[in-house]
Amino acid sequence: MVLMIVAFTLGISTAVCAQQIHKSPEETFDRIVNELNLNSSQQDEITKQKSSQKDESQKIKAQLKEKRNELKSELEKESSDRAKIDAIISDMKELIAQRIQQRVESILTLKKVLSPEQFKALNEKTKNLFERKSDR
């Protein structure tokens, strides 16, 4: 009986830890933003930005996936068309550039919305988060 209770408790604590460790990027971002003590105007602006960014990001991600599949198909053919491969690669480069541009725009928007102290705190929190992930 005691062994069952210990096993059950261990199972629950493991599940809770796993949930905390494997949060989605959105959940992690929301948690960090909540820690910044934003006013309602800042919260509205960040929510609006996040929503529009997510929509655009999903479009780019889908297009990039489609281009990867096209490239894979073309490379798997018995006789690949070099011009078609080059065109696909060019399209992929453009999509990757759009992702980078979107990320930079997002950072610049955050700089406008947040106070310098809040932006610095956000950078510290995300820096610490990525350092912990790279230590795994």
d(CA 124, CA 121): 5
125 against 19, higher pLDDT: 125
Task: Report the amino acid identity of residue 119.
Answer: F
Would you state the CATH architecture of domain 24-135? Up-down Bundle (1.20)
Tokens of 49: 């930005």
56-98 tens-digit pLDDT:
999 999 999 999 999 999 999 999 999 999 999 999 999 999 9
Task: Report the amino acid identity of residue 87.
Answer: A
Give pTM, 2 decimals: 0.68
d(CA 99, CA 26): 17
7-29 tens-digit pLDDT:
444 454 444 444 445 577 778 77
